[in-house]
Structure 1
Amino acid sequence: MKHFEIYTPETAPSPAAETLQALKEKLGFAPNVFAVMGGTPGGLSAFVSLNQNFGETSLSATEREIVQIAVSVENGGAYCVAGHTSFARKQGVADEIVEAVRTRGRIADPKLAALHEFVRRVTVKRGKLAEGELEAFLAAGYSDAQVQEVILGICVKMFSNLADNLLGFPLDDAFVPYRWDPSEAQPRADADAIAA
């Protein structure tokens, strides 16, 4: 695999340098997913904006992390699963929810379970859902606007999952305790139905 430079606020071109510095101040470090994009200021700016916009949706922190981890699991995005496990824990998302999403397990809360399933289906089927699948999500208590918010979250993670799968970001030290391997996500009995 080709080596891609991991930029820092000191080595990235402007305005990426300022963006990386702001991330470092906010998070305590500039995660490698952002740092690798530091050589492409337009790409970094777009990715940061997508993340900020998704963070401003009506979805709760738990719901946003379900979206981001679930998409990453379906795409085999090991870096992003580890990173968002770390972020979920820092935001107080229940461990059992995080573990269920990382393993394609079941979430006990029916509304959150419906979100998890909807995200998985939209991701795997690229939005081409069967009749009734969107309605099931709405019937769980989500709004039409939240359908669009989930799509935004999926787009955020598709961006970083594609970059990670192609470029192979090394895990940041903060994410190492949450390392994830795709083999942890067991096939679900309904996998064939989702893929159909």
Structure 2
Amino acid sequence: MKHFTIHNLQSAAPNARPILEGLAKMVGFVPNVFAVMGGSASALNGFVEVTKQFGASSLNATEREIVHIATSVENGCSYCVAGHTGFAKAQKVDDAVIEAVRTRGTIADPKLAALHDFTRALVIKRGHVEQSELERFRAAGYTEAQVYEVIIGISEKTISNLTSISLDLPLDEAFKPFAWEPEEARIAA
């Protein structure tokens, strides 16, 4: 890791401590990507709020994890792919779906495949998607509101991707069984 502190409840900024305490209760530990932001209550609050809003979207757990993992794969974020693989497994997301997203493979369910493709297109093209890509996403059964929800999910994950990559965050013990390297996705692509 580059020279940044992974905070704990004692070293975190006073206004960040309650947020980290809440995360520890909810997740069972404070993931490093949140802990490193513990030095700035503003940064941590912003990230947590975007995370909450995406969690409150109309997308179900499988769909949210597809957005999280696909964004992280396209951004080459080993930390976030591993972390969200763990979260996806905890939420009982189908292993075949998880593996397809981790490797840029094919998802058998056409609606989930459309979400995967749309998410990847938004990230790869930095939002400059074609009208036909929007139409394919909508034709698969997604709404206009869900276009915005996918964008919020990508935004949330981009915050953690940039944080994790730029600081070279070490994987939390809980995420180590799900380690991933960008080469895995390049080989399958």
Is the shorter-chain TM-score for this pair beyond 0.5, marking a shared fold? Answer: yes
Paired with 1:27 and 1:158, the residues of 2 have a C-alpha distance of: 21
Paired with 2:50 and 2:117, the residues of 1 have a C-alpha distance of: 23
Match of 1:118 in 2: 118
Task: Report the TM-score, using the length of structure 2 for normalisation.
Answer: 0.97
* Deviation string, structure 1 residues 82-136 (Cα, Å, up to 9, x no partner): 0000000000100000000000000000000000000000000011012311001
Match of 1:4 in 2: 4
Match of 1:146 in 2: 146
- Greater relative CO, 1 or 2 (CA 8 Å, sep 6+): 2
Task: Report the TM-score, using the length of structure 1 for normalisation.
Answer: 0.94
Paired with 2:91 and 2:70, the residues of 1 have a C-alpha distance of: 17
**The 10-residue stretch of structure 1 (9-18 or 72-81) with the greater mean CA deviation from structure 2:** 9-18
Report how many residues are paired: 189
% identity of equivalent residues: 57
Aligned-partner SS, 1:132: helix
Match of 1:193 in 2: none
Q: Which runs of 4+ in 1 moved over 2 A?
A: 186-189
Contact 1:104–1:187 (CA under 8 A) maintained in structure 2: no
Match of 2:91 in 1: 91
Which sections of structure 2, spanning at least 5 residues, go unmatched? none
**Partner amino acid, structure 1, of 2:33:** V
Paired with 2:86 and 2:12, the residues of 1 have a C-alpha distance of: 25
**The 10-residue stretch of structure 1 (6-15 or 166-175) with the greater mean CA deviation from structure 2:** 6-15
Q: How does 1:1-196 map to 2 (within 5 A)?
A: 2-186=2-186
**Partner amino acid, structure 2, of 1:149:** E
RMSD: 1.1
